[in-house]
């Protein structure tokens, strides 16, 4: 039987792995976005807008006609980028919660890809409508492009979950 110190140590190790996987997967997604911008001049989400959206929530403002036209908030970029990485960690934790701790020791690609692609529902049905872009970017000039870019980015995030798990599994 494990004593409380051993349980605590295992918990800290598990949380460290989840944090590493979440940050690693999010960084891979960000590298993908950087590649798209450099190679094809395709712009990604401005995380300052995420910060603006989140910072306005305590005052009851959730929906925007156009988030880009809403007044800027001090520190919105820091808020947005921090939220982006915290959310990546939460999604990594979901993979471990569903597939178990053993998945970290022997990661497989499909769990990461499944969760990565499933997470596109958040921007499609929450963020984009709240930003004034409509459900799944339906109010944007090119909804199909917005949808493909979102799904592709979240697929890459899913691959990032797998890649980061492979890396951490070789160390722990």
Q: Mind listing the pLDDT tens digit for each residue in 40-76?
A: 999 999 999 999 999 999 999 999 999 999 999 999 9
Q: Which two tokens stand for residue 108?
A: 């497989």
pLDDT of 79 reads 98
In the chain, the number of structural domains is: 1
Side-chain half-sphere of 39: how many Cα atoms within 13 Å? 6
39: phi then psi, degrees, rounded to nearest 5: -80, -35
Distance CA 62, CA 77 (A): 18
Are the C-beta atoms of residues 103 and 95 closer than 8 Å to each other? yes
Distance CA 49, CA 59 (A): 16
* Residues 68-92, mean pLDDT to the nearest whole number: 97
Label residue 23 by pLDDT band (50, 70, 90). very high
**Is the confidence at residue 3, as pLDDT, over 90?**
no
Mean pLDDT of the chain: 97
Q: Which two tokens stand for residue 150?
A: 């979102």
pLDDT of 93 reads 98
> How would you label 116-128 residue by residue, b for 16+ Cβ within 10 Å and e otherwise?
beebbeebbeebb
Distance CA 130, CA 20 (A): 30
Are the C-beta atoms of residues 112 and 25 closer than 8 Å to each other? yes
Where do we find the tokens 């409380």? 4
CA distances from 16 to 60, 78, 137, 168, 172 (A): 34, 23, 35, 10, 10
* Residues 16-44, mean pLDDT to the nearest whole number: 98
Are the C-beta atoms of residues 170 and 126 closer than 8 Å to each other? no
**Is the confidence at residue 1, as pLDDT, over 80?**
no
pTM for this model (two decimals): 0.94
pLDDT of 2 reads 77
pLDDT of 24 reads 98
Tally the residues of the chain: 172
* Closest of 120, 117, 154, 130 to residue 49, by C-alpha: 130
**Is the confidence at residue 12, as pLDDT, over 90?**
yes
104 membership: H or E segment, kind and range: helix 102-105
Write the pLDDT tens digit of every residue in 127-145: 999 999 999 999 999 999 9
- Domain range for 29: 4-169
């Amino acid at each position: 039987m494990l004593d409380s110190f051993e349980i605590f140590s295992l918990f800290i190790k598990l949380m460290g792995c989840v944090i590493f996987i979440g940050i690693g997967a999010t960084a891979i997604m960000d590298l993908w976005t950087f590649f798209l911008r450099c190679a094809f001049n395709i712009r990604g989400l401005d995380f300052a807008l995420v910060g603006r959206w989140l910072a306005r929530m305590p005052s009851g403002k959730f929906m925007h006609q156009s988030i880009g036209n809403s007044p800027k908030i001090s520190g919105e970029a820091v808020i947005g980028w921090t939220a982006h990485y915290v959310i990546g960690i939460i999604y990594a934790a979901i993979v471990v919660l569903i597939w178990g701790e053993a998945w970290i020791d022997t990661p497989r690609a499909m769990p990461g890809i499944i969760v990565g692609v499933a997470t596109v529902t958040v921007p499609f049905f929450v963020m984009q409508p709240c930003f004034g872009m409509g459900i799944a970017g339906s109010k944007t000039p090119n909804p199909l492009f917005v949808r493909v870019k979102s799904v592709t980015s979240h697929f890459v995030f899913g691959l990032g979950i797998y890649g980061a798990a492979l890396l951490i599994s070789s160390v722990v």
